[in-house]
Structure 1
Amino acid sequence: MKKQSLMIAGIAAILCLTACDIKDPQQKSSQIKSDQIKSNVVPEGFKKIITVAKKGDEIVIPFTKYQLDNGLTVILHPDNSDPLVHVDVTYHVGSGREEPGKSGFAHFFEHMMFQGSENVADEQHFGLITESGGTLNGSTNTDRTNYYETVPSNQLERMLWLESDRMGFFLDAVTKEKFENQRETVKNERGQNYDNRPYGLLRERVGEALFPEGHPYSWSTIGYIEDLNRADLNDLKKFFLRWYGPNNATLTIGGDMDETQTLAWVKKYFGGIPRGPEVIQPEYTAVTLKQDRYISMEDNVSLPLVYMSFPTVHANHPDEAPLDVLMSILGSGKTSLLYKNLVKNGKSVQASANHGCGELSCQFTLLALPTPGNSLSELETIIRASLDEFESKGGATDDDIERVKAGIVSGMVYGLESVSGKVSQLAAYQTYRNNPNAIGEDVARYENVSQDDVMRVYKKYIKDKYAVIMSIVPNGQGDKIAKPDTWKRYDRAIPDSTEDDSLVLRPGTSDFDRSVVPVSGKNPSVRAPDIYKLTTKTGIKILGTVNDEVPTTTIRLRVPAGQTRESIDKLGLASLTAAMLSEATKKSSAEDLSNHLQKLGSSVDFSTDNKFTTINIRTLTKNLDETLAVAIEQLTQPKFDEADFKRLQKQQIEGLKTAKKNAATTATEVFNKLVFGSDNSFAYADNGIISTLEKLSLKDVIEFYSANYGPSNADVIVVSNLAENEISKSLKTLDVWQGKSSPMPAINPFPELQAGTLYFIDKPEAAQSEIRIGKRALKYDSVGEYYRADLMNYNLGGAFNSRINLNLREDKGYTYGARSFFYGNDFYGFYRAQAGVRADTTADSIVQFRNEISAFGAQGLTVKELEFVKSAIGQRDARNYETPRQKLSFLSEIMTYNLDKGFVDKQNEILEKVSIEELSGLAAKHLKLDEMITVVVGDKATIMESLQPMFKNIVELDEEGKPL
């Protein structure tokens, strides 16, 4: 529900929105009403509602909408461009349907629905989909819960069997044991993502203050721990009976399918599920405040934060679109007022605006984090002055309106790049508007926003209106809040539970044996993308493929100017240099460049990793040449302004301070330094360390750029709807690029691992501990032992239903997720098992990790596990080449390691022939605990005593990994 900058994220934000005004779809030129469709094409039990087809260049997702007799809405979107299907079941229930004292139920059910049903065994849901080469998940927000999977097209019937069984045959399979296990998992999730994350409680506290007590938006989607603790199995069952009927659900299927067969399967599996209670739409009630409410909290953060939240309208309200435009003007990107008044002048490391919307309410928010030396009260004053400035300068400009419109249209096109994206859009529009074909409506409502509209909503909802203003300050610094609190958290009133006699079990019926897992169809034929190779006049290698499904172009330009080019005394220099390239050039200001890109609906982003600085370019193909011109200008003509350098240096330092508050980040970084040595730059975080960053100068940046930012050894990867010759013509603009490059530096010898040692970093009062267990391992090899080792680990820690995750998450409830993996590139590799676990389970979690790794190393795989990995890995290629991003990853692997396209065929041949003896032998070879170290970040006072008997050698380190 969080709305990002429309200029960058485009429609991705809009499509997450909800609306409580539900209307019948209007007939348009591309729509055919159900009475115009021949009745003989509608299967028995269905009513065809509408068909939408694409005409010309309009932005539309073709579909047909049906309704099953039991009220289930069914939307089909055929798309045979890739041999896969995406299935989404969206229930119109989120935390906004919950009652006071019963928060978190919708999210709890998201977890419970993966725990098996009458005919689906525990873990079988994950097992079948993973074994099919698919991926799956679920999500909950204030207004809906959805479950989705992307699988090879031959698995569609199985997916419908799985989804229907948990819709209609679920409750009798729910046990007290499953209930308690998932309650612990949800509590771990809350600990990891809310209670123990810096600023994690921000929106929960603001919601309490903004909405009246008892309003369902006054609590977070995950709910309160005390409500979860108080809930019993009967409470959850009643919630399911109330909201999870087919008449409150939308089944959306997109991809490579036979529509007639698909409808027959839908009728077979869903037709016998009875309707649930009737569901009325949520009722919007305006939220008002009689005065500003100042609230505050201390938290384990490095920087204070001030956050202002104004109540506005609800999703799909006529004023939502102009409020979004106002949001962009005030706080989205380098063209915004908050950027100019807070970030550009170095007063804040971050400042932004947002307009998050739900069915019951929207919030217009403004946020800022000060640089050291600036106070929250000063930032609040500047934010309020920025609002006044907007009005005094006449409000929105033509440029502002143009940027928003460009962002919307381009975002819609980008959303068509995957079948999952199209299905998600159809499902959301149906759920919130009863009209899957609402893309055109969204385009129209934003294109019709005028300058007068923006000023009108500013005066109506923001000017001189009251807000919730929250301060979050570091622990022990309560005197640094913006203003003293004027509102106190209340003790929640928990109403007595009431019985609803209408909520009775609704047993489904079937005329077939549901216990039989449907047989998969014939495996689809999967072919890696065709590839072309080019070389520019200056020797830059280009690797590309044509993706003609959408008129977009994505380019990845890689320069060998990554972290390995840094010296240890200048860590963070590569990252800082890349950041400087996003600022002003010798010809243009950063604001002008940003404005130009946003009006094109394009993005140009610079980032660094171990070896490369990467320029990621994304654009509508019609704007390719203009976008490339901006990217080349940034790459070849940086201004390197001292003020920009100082500001970015401060931001990077503050970012590192914030990262230190994250136990997971600390654990991983310390592990890397222990394994690869503190004298190798790549062992550190990409953005360096504070002590070296503080000493860097603009001269260092200029020298690094001069030494490394040349075309020699650079490469380009392209995915576009343009043909090879057209791409070649556009990329001639690279011929102007000149400069030097440096050779790959020598890698320093790795340290001898003190195997068996526990390295401990104290994080006082941490409710969770981060565990890392591992060692150095294999470098990358596409068809060698590295590839085979990855196959070996898949059942141990690579899949959701791996031994490690099933043990620690599903069986024990210790963690939100646990895994193990091999990672390697061309100059180093490692094996690592890891998890964030509840603090009181730290010692036993390490025991469980050890037991699983040892047993796997000693005994190897089972026959069933060998079959599983062969099936799962063998079929997942069907979803490996769908989107431009996936194609870029495939081409990047080929480019980085000088592979030929046939390496995929060789991998498949290895997979088909690999034996249980070979993989078990690799397990015995690589999974030796006596070669591994253990890193734990946690509360010493709570857990050290339980760890001491397990380790002969314990070394305590600080957050930098230095011995205490």
Structure 2
Amino acid sequence: MKITKTLLILLVFIVTSCANETKTTADNREFKVEFEEFTLDNGLSVIFHVDRSDPVVAVALTSHVGSAREIEGRTGFAHLFEHLLFLESENLGKGGLDKMSARIGGSGANGSTSRDRTNYFQTVPKDALEKMIWAEADKLGFFINTVTEPVLAKEKQVVKNEKRQGVDNNPYGHTQYVIDKNLYPEGHPYSWQVIGSLEDLQNATLQDVKDFYNRWYVPNNVTLTIAGDFDTAQAKQWVEKYFNEIKRGEDIPKIAKQPVELSETKKLFYEDNFARLPQLTITWPGVNQYHDDSYALNVLTNYLSRGKAAPLNKLIVEEHKLASNINLFQYNSEIAGQVMLSVTAFNGTKLDNVQSAINKAFAKFEAEGIPQKDLDRIKAGQETAFYNGLSSVLGKGFQLAQYKIFAGDPAYINEDVKKILAVTADDVMRVYNAYIKNQNYIATSFVPKGQADLALADSNLAEVVEEKIIEGAEEEFDPSIAATYEKTPSSFDRSVEPPYGESPDVKVPEVWKASLASGMNVLGIENNEVPLVQFRMQIKGGMLLEDINKIGVSNLLAEMLTKGTKNKTPEEFENAVESLGASINAFASDEAITISGNSLAKNYNATMKLVEEILLEPRWDIDEFALLKQSTLSQIQRQKGNPNSIASIEFAKLTYGDDHILSKNNIGTEASVNAITMEDLEKYYTKNISPTVTNLHIVGDISQKEVIASLENLNNNWEAKEVTIPEVKDPEAPQESKVYFYDVPNAKQSVIRFGYPALAATDADYYPATVLNYRLGGGGFASQLTQELREGKGYTYGIVSGFSGSNIKGAFTISSGVRSNVTLESASLVKEIVENYGKNYNENDLEVTKGFMIKSNARAFETLGSKLGMLSNISNYNLPDDYAKQREDIVKAMTVEDIKKLTEKYLDVNKMNYLVVGDAKTQMEKLEALGFGKPILLNEVKDKSNIEQ
């Protein structure tokens, strides 16, 4: 090792609050993040952070290579490598890391790619740390020989499916491509997309892949981060053992900053096959990550666009009523950055009107600047966001690696916070003048087919490469062919998987419970790892309490609850929340209205006072109601253009039947939302918002005594009402399978939803059925559906199956997006896998399932969010506090025969609904070959000429 050092970061946060909102005064709080950093002789950077709050360890390997290190004509390589490195290595074998992840109870090996880095990460029980270090070293030094032509061909298909799913088959999916192609000059590393182009991916050769790996995947370009409950001395020995003999690569030159300037403003438009509403995006050249001006720009974008007082919200949403929201943000990377403003306007809105309102908002800001109270409010929110980012060991590890790679030192975390807190109002105005005012920009207008007149005036047609659906266009391959190669030499036998360490002592968090006089039930877990409190107040009812002919009332009511109170305007209420660095949100689901919150522990009481206000003193603001209705209508229209939303809505209808309330979309239809009045909301509130049907779940740095004290006024003054949750008829499973098709002309993928109404979460078979499903489609890369459709055939980017019951019987569902020209092949293969699942289930399947289900308990309650989920399960389904431990006993006792019996009972392919959302012209008729009769078309597209390419 070259350098060994131990650093202690001392963070001092200074938060100011408005005196009239809270008794909290300026507070200096120390927060320590200890880490140790060292470098191996081969250049590998290693960062350790010890956190013993849970018996888990997060391991992350980050390579300083992203799409910016590629060359034109060979784009998408960095992202392709993110995929390839999971497939095999010399000593783990095919699917080795994914198979090991399942056995050891890991969170699932995962990765991500950006313009500038690629990372690989997983959280595992602490007894598996040596196994993870061994596996990560094998990926870095003992991988490239295993990549063959068939493996590369298959993974190209997977990546192309990912692009189809996220870009080609998505409303506005090509927007970033158009922006980057025009913002950055030809040859600039950010002028192409991280995912690359379909053509470049197809043209990649095996030699290209090997050259890329040998250049960038070398120890001196990689950072290994280990965070969690482990012994650092032992971990150092393991890191040295497994990584030391991997050879250093050529020196990696530091990539120079390459900011861009636009010599002119460019306006472009595109008629989007999936868009149902016009969208305007304006992009200005910005700054690179950690540039001194990035901090003031962050405040500027926040102030201009977020919240009731934001100038852009005032003009676009409230005054001119052109859209329901605005998004203004920075997209900063290592060598350059951009500032982006995006508005999805209401149906039929001319985007010139949107731009006019934007200009008026900017003029308002120029005249008034940013008030100090708003500056303080934004900083308070940034502090809370910082703590949220550190609430898991993986989050801490990510953050330390980020600072190491892009700021040169993990200790920059301290400098980063100082710069956030140092921003002044003058800084905010200065960066506005430097980067926004009178500056050239790229403006893209993405509009529905046939509505080019909505685009900005004087816009030119954007160049977009659209894939054509061609039958049999993809090459055939056999990824099962084993690679033949001479193994990379090592000083010891790396094929031997390291043993487990000492088994972690999994502790189920201690739950406290209280039943208040008002009827409200409170469940909590005290946890002081970070100075945060999170809570979730669940008021039973939701859509179940609505008139089936007027769906959408509970959704609008939930939205209205946070739009002011009797004594606070919507703007005043929002400012009160944000000045605390807190968040309060309300939303409706099929079975409840939920109010959730997140705050610094020191501001919890003040935050709960605001929750109390919205429950006891709602505002019923008529202007906000009108805005919310319009926003909801806009959301409904957007869903009509999104194949995944269409699939979810149509599958619910098939699962429950048209006359069942759960077949409805809980935000309503255009007709039902238009018919809803403020009186409908008030009636629902008066009858159904009651403590008698409320459970409060709360976790974090707060005691039971403090929580109960904070609820005293709410307990005394919230009127208890008798609310009856209606009994819902169980949906009936189909007696025979049928195929249904929803036509989305020219869809680049077919979205599939196969399944039937199966089980309630309270059913004795529900948890055993989830155990059954692990190897089918619930275990990620450990599942057969993923292994055969993604890894074996390259048909899809991802496929899952699962049971989704609550107190009401829910569906068993298989979900995926598959390549359009293999729709029948995909559906047939899914049917075959499910049909044979029980017949082929064996002892190895059960052993893998048991290993995951039992060992994964070590990380089951690590984050505040996971603890909230635990409390929800306990209160909603009347589970014992130690249900996780009891489920271990269920798993341990299960046999192969038990699984086979459950399969016979719950996986009958001849009694399911088969729904496909895709291009009917090319795919629908072929699906008759599934053997379930002619597919039933669920919709008619009246004017296909307007939609097809």
Do Structure 1 and Structure 2 share a fold, with TM-score over 0.5?
yes
Matches within 5 A, 1:765-914: 765-781=746-762, 784-800=764-780, 801-857=782-838, 859-914=839-894
Matches within 5 A, 1:664-675: 664-675=644-655
Match of 1:477 among 448, 451, 473: 451
How big is the shift at 1:439? 2.1
Q: What is the identity, as a one-letter code, of the residue corresponding to 2:750?
A: S
Could you tell me which runs of 5 or more consecutive residues in structure 1 were left unpaired when the two chains were aligned.
Answer: 1-44, 493-504
Match of 2:338 among 326, 344, 363: 363
1:285 equivalent in alignment to 2:258: yes
1:233 equivalent in alignment to 2:206: yes
Corresponding residue number in structure 2 for 1:958: 939
How big is the shift at 1:486? 4.9
Corresponding residue number in structure 1 for 2:469: none
Q: Which of 56-65 and 859-868 deviates more?
A: 56-65
1:248 equivalent in alignment to 2:221: yes
**Counterpart-to-counterpart distance in 2, 1:750 and 1:420:** 41
How big is the shift at 1:860? 4.6
Match of 2:244 among 271, 281, 306: 271
How big is the shift at 1:182? 0.7
Corresponding residue number in structure 2 for 1:26: none
Corresponding residue number in structure 2 for 1:635: 615
Corresponding residue number in structure 2 for 1:423: 397
| SS of structure 2 residue aligned to 1:380 | helix
**Counterpart-to-counterpart distance in 1, 2:602 and 2:373:** 20
Corresponding residue number in structure 1 for 2:48: 76
1:47 equivalent in alignment to 2:3: yes
How big is the shift at 1:586? 1.5
Whether the 8 Å CA contact 1:679–1:748 is kept in 2: the answer is: no
1:131 equivalent in alignment to 2:106: no
**Counterpart-to-counterpart distance in 2, 1:958 and 1:333:** 39
How big is the shift at 1:275? 0.8
1:390 equivalent in alignment to 2:365: yes
* CA displacement, residues 589-631 of structure 1 (integer Å, 9 cap, x when unaligned): 1112212211211000001112110100110010011111112
**Counterpart-to-counterpart distance in 1, 2:394 and 2:569:** 38
Q: Which of 280-289 and 650-659 deviates more?
A: 280-289
How big is the shift at 1:530? 0.5
Q: What is the identity, as a one-letter code, of the residue corresponding to 2:143?
A: F
- RMSD, aligned α-carbons: 1.9
**Counterpart-to-counterpart distance in 2, 1:367 and 1:902:** 47
Q: What is the identity, as a one-letter code, of the residue corresponding to 1:761?
A: Y
**Counterpart-to-counterpart distance in 1, 2:730 and 2:532:** 45
How big is the shift at 1:378? 0.5
**Counterpart-to-counterpart distance in 2, 1:659 and 1:478:** 21
Matches within 5 A, 1:370-519: 370-393=345-368, 395-486=369-460, 489=463, 509-519=489-499
How big is the shift at 1:165? 0.5
Matches within 5 A, 1:397-796: 397-486=371-460, 489=463, 509-735=489-715, 736-738=717-719, 740-748=721-729, 750=731, 753=734, 755-781=736-762, 784-796=764-776
* CA displacement, residues 190-211 of structure 1 (integer Å, 9 cap, x when unaligned): 0000111111111111111111
Q: What is the identity, as a one-letter code, of the residue corresponding to 1:160?
A: I
**Counterpart-to-counterpart distance in 2, 1:53 and 1:306:** 43
1:67 equivalent in alignment to 2:23: no
Q: What is the identity, as a one-letter code, of the residue corresponding to 2:642?
A: N
How big is the shift at 1:491? 10
> For residues 286 and 797 of structure 1, do their structure 2 counterparts lie closer, same or farther at Cα, with a shift above 3 Å needed?
closer
How big is the shift at 1:739? 5.5
| SS of structure 1 residue aligned to 2:766 | helix
Q: What is the identity, as a one-letter code, of the residue corresponding to 2:575?
A: N
**Counterpart-to-counterpart distance in 2, 1:487 and 1:924:** 56
**Counterpart-to-counterpart distance in 2, 1:489 and 1:909:** 59
* CA displacement, residues 477-531 of structure 1 (integer Å, 9 cap, x when unaligned): 1121012225864999xxxxxxxxxxxx999653210111111223211011111
| SS of structure 2 residue aligned to 1:712 | helix
**Counterpart-to-counterpart distance in 1, 2:523 and 2:247:** 54
**Counterpart-to-counterpart distance in 2, 1:555 and 1:488:** 46
TM-score w.r.t. length of structure 1: 0.91
Corresponding residue number in structure 1 for 2:946: none
| SS of structure 1 residue aligned to 2:302 | helix
Corresponding residue number in structure 2 for 1:108: 80
| SS of structure 2 residue aligned to 1:617 | strand
Number of residue pairs aligned between Structure 1 and Structure 2: 901
Whether the 8 Å CA contact 1:273–1:508 is kept in 2: the answer is: no
How big is the shift at 1:752? 6.0
Identity %: 35
Whether the 8 Å CA contact 2:533–2:599 is kept in 1: the answer is: yes
How big is the shift at 1:324? 1.2
Whether the 8 Å CA contact 2:169–2:643 is kept in 1: the answer is: no
**Counterpart-to-counterpart distance in 2, 1:173 and 1:867:** 27
How big is the shift at 1:222? 0.4
1:335 equivalent in alignment to 2:312: no
Q: What is the identity, as a one-letter code, of the residue corresponding to 2:530?
A: V
1:318 equivalent in alignment to 2:274: no
Q: What is the identity, as a one-letter code, of the residue corresponding to 1:386?
A: A
Q: What is the identity, as a one-letter code, of the residue corresponding to 1:51?
A: L
Corresponding residue number in structure 1 for 2:22: none
Q: What is the identity, as a one-letter code, of the residue corresponding to 2:63?
A: Y
**Counterpart-to-counterpart distance in 1, 2:589 and 2:841:** 35
**Counterpart-to-counterpart distance in 1, 2:88 and 2:261:** 44
* CA displacement, residues 744-780 of structure 1 (integer Å, 9 cap, x when unaligned): 1132463562522111111101110011221121211
Whether the 8 Å CA contact 1:274–1:508 is kept in 2: the answer is: no
> For residues 807 and 390 of structure 1, do their structure 2 counterparts lie closer, same or farther at Cα, with a shift above 3 Å needed?
same
Whether the 8 Å CA contact 1:860–1:924 is kept in 2: the answer is: no
**Counterpart-to-counterpart distance in 1, 2:232 and 2:486:** 29
| SS of structure 1 residue aligned to 2:3 | strand
Q: What is the identity, as a one-letter code, of the residue corresponding to 1:167?
A: L
Whether the 8 Å CA contact 2:653–2:663 is kept in 1: the answer is: yes
* CA displacement, residues 44-77 of structure 1 (integer Å, 9 cap, x when unaligned): x352033226589423421000001100000001
**Counterpart-to-counterpart distance in 2, 1:915 and 1:557:** 39
| SS of structure 2 residue aligned to 1:88 | strand
> For residues 426 and 508 of structure 1, do their structure 2 counterparts lie closer, same or farther at Cα, with a shift above 3 Å needed?
farther
Q: What is the identity, as a one-letter code, of the residue corresponding to 1:556?
A: R
> For residues 384 and 119 of structure 1, do their structure 2 counterparts lie closer, same or farther at Cα, with a shift above 3 Å needed?
same
Corresponding residue number in structure 2 for 1:39: none
Q: Which of 215-224 and 741-750 deviates more?
A: 741-750
Whether the 8 Å CA contact 2:305–2:326 is kept in 1: the answer is: yes
How big is the shift at 1:458? 1.2
Whether the 8 Å CA contact 2:10–2:414 is kept in 1: the answer is: no
Could you tell me which runs of 5 or more consecutive residues in structure 2 were left unpaired when the two chains were aligned.
Answer: 13-28, 467-484, 942-949
Q: What is the identity, as a one-letter code, of the residue corresponding to 2:89?
A: S
Q: Which of 369-378 and 734-743 deviates more?
A: 734-743
> For residues 70 and 671 of structure 1, do their structure 2 counterparts lie closer, same or farther at Cα, with a shift above 3 Å needed?
same
Q: Which of 396-405 and 212-221 deviates more?
A: 396-405
Q: What is the identity, as a one-letter code, of the residue corresponding to 1:834?
A: S
Corresponding residue number in structure 2 for 1:19: none
* CA displacement, residues 845-891 of structure 1 (integer Å, 9 cap, x when unaligned): 1110011001113x152110010001010101111111110000001
Whether the 8 Å CA contact 2:11–2:414 is kept in 1: the answer is: no
Whether the 8 Å CA contact 1:74–1:251 is kept in 2: the answer is: yes
| SS of structure 2 residue aligned to 1:217 | coil
| SS of structure 2 residue aligned to 1:282 | coil
Whether the 8 Å CA contact 1:339–1:352 is kept in 2: the answer is: no
Whether the 8 Å CA contact 2:177–2:193 is kept in 1: the answer is: yes
Whether the 8 Å CA contact 2:113–2:194 is kept in 1: the answer is: yes
Corresponding residue number in structure 2 for 1:121: 93
